Amino acid sequence: MRKLICFFALTIGWLVQSCVQDEKSLFDKPATERVNELLSEYEALLTGEPNGWMMEYFPGDSLSVGGYTYVCTFKGGEVTLLSDVSTVHYPAGEKVTSLYRLISDQGPVLTFDTYNEIFHAFSEPLSSGDTDGYEGDYEFAILKADDHSMTLKGKKHGSIFILNRMEETGEAYIGKIQDTESKIAPMPRLRFLAGGEEFSVIKDRRILKFIYPEANGETRIETVTFIYTPTGIKLHRPLTFNGQTVQEFRLDEEEKDLVGVNAAVRFPYPTPFESLFCETQWWFDFSFDTLSGDKADMCSEMQGVLKGIYDENTRIWYGEESLTDIYIGVNGVHFVDPNADPNPYAFVFHSGNYNAVYGCHYKTGVNDTWVITPVASGFNFSYYGHFLPLVTYVGEYSPYTLAVEASAGEDPRVIKFSSVKNPAVWFRLYQRED
């Protein structure tokens, strides 16, 4: 027994001494020296790939702008960037070179600290009152790295970014992304199919808004951003619909659908009417003139509603403003500045020199009918709440059958809307000449 105890004592002593020796070898270098060694390793890693490193970049405020791709090539203290970002001075796909550094700041940090227009586009101030811009980062703590990737964390806003080693040139990769974007970007996507169920969706630049009906009759909107890839799009985060979880979609070159990767989901190619109403503006034709009389290309009941809001607008603004135009379609206010109004599609009223916006959703209904759903007041509408009766009227009698009554070549110019609920309710919308 004494021999056994002695044996264990000797063994434990040897293990303790061994651990102490390992700990000494691990920590016998100053912290600064260890970090400097890491920085040298990271420098060799970054500069050792002639094709560069790809970064999928989602700024902290990506819900306003979506995501973009950068290919970064490091050499001799300079970084050459290629991207699908387009700025005032640099179109997408043009190389822009600036300086970078690997520094020690509570650990190893990669910093793009000299101005690069395409990279700092998301971090530079938008105004004196908005110094964060789109909450983009240009200094990154290096969390971990291997031969194929480097995980970064934004120093200011905390977003996580991955640098992935490129297997082809940046020109080839960004060129494929631009080709994909040219095929997908012009086409609206209003329907999303998942697990045998159809959801409404709005594709707005690099932002998707999924619309869910709630039990109380209200709607819930879930917003997610995406980047373009060489084969389709990739969401910022995975989403689950009817048990189907998806993050990436590929473009079906034949059907033109966006098909989920490893998931039974898809964005169908838009119908002709979906393309029509999501690409332009459709105007009401009306005039309330004391000399020539009242006219409006719509049923008499709807004309009464329109005349009511017209007169109320004149009364409220003491005759200094007149309601001159109304359209449904692409919201010009949102198109110019998405931050001014979040609604891609809307009822837009022109009164004097002002616009008033009320957002709406579109949907293709049963038997190719057209559903128009008012959503929420938008830009300036708080001053023009008296326009709401017309918005409500159009929404109340939705869905509508559509009939093209005049065209310019293949482009419809006049469409008649007839209510499915009450065919006596109708109106015409006109597409104006460019």
Which tokens go with 100?
Answer: 């970078």
Find residue 74's DSSP bridge partners.
79
SS3 271: coil
- 80 and 55 both lie in a single domain: yes
pTM of the full predicted structure?
Answer: 0.83
Q: Are residues 359 and 378 in contact, defined by beta-carbon separation less than 8 angstroms?
A: yes
- 1 Cβ contact list (under 8 Å, min separation 6): none
- 124 and 217 both lie in a single domain: no
Find residue 70's DSSP bridge partners.
55, 83
- 254 and 347 both lie in a single domain: no
- 337 and 415 both lie in a single domain: yes
Residue 34 lies in a domain: no
- 216 and 314 both lie in a single domain: no
Better pLDDT: 372 or 195? 372
- 156 and 297 both lie in a single domain: no
- 288 and 216 both lie in a single domain: no
Q: Are residues 427 and 417 in contact, defined by beta-carbon separation less than 8 angstroms?
A: yes
CATH code for position 80 = 2.40.128
Angle between helices 388-396 and 300-316 (to 10 degrees): 160
Give me the pLDDT at residue 23, please.
45
Which tokens go with 355?
Answer: 């616009």
- 423 and 292 both lie in a single domain: yes
35 membership: H or E segment, kind and range: helix 31-47
Residues 74-133 have pLDDT tens digits of 999 999 999 999 999 999 999 999 999 999 999 999 999 899 999 999 998 776 566 567
Q: Mean pLDDT throughout 53-60?
A: 95
Which tokens go with 144?
Answer: 């971990």
Q: Mean pLDDT throughout 357-375?
A: 93
Which tokens go with 34?
Answer: 């260890």
Task: Kindly report whether the peptide bond that precedes residue 91 is cis, defined as omega within 30 degrees of 0.
Answer: no
DSSP 361-397: EEEE-GGG-EEEEEEEE-TTGGG-GGGHHHHHHHHHT
> What share of the chain in percent tops pLDDT 90?
73
Residue 12 lies in a domain: no
Residue 18 lies in a domain: no
251/231 Cα distance (integer angstroms): 6
Confidence of residue 301 (pLDDT cuts 50, 70, 90): very high
C-beta neighbour count of 278 within 10 angstroms: 21
Q: What angle do CA 90, 248, 195 make, to 5 degrees?
A: 140
Structurally, the chain folds into a number of domains equal to 3
334/375 Cα distance (integer angstroms): 15
Give the domain range for residue 63.
43-174
- 314 and 424 both lie in a single domain: yes
> What share of the chain in percent tops pLDDT 70?
91
Find residue 202's DSSP bridge partners.
209
- 285 and 420 both lie in a single domain: yes
Give me the pLDDT at residue 434, please.
62
36/19 Cα distance (integer angstroms): 25
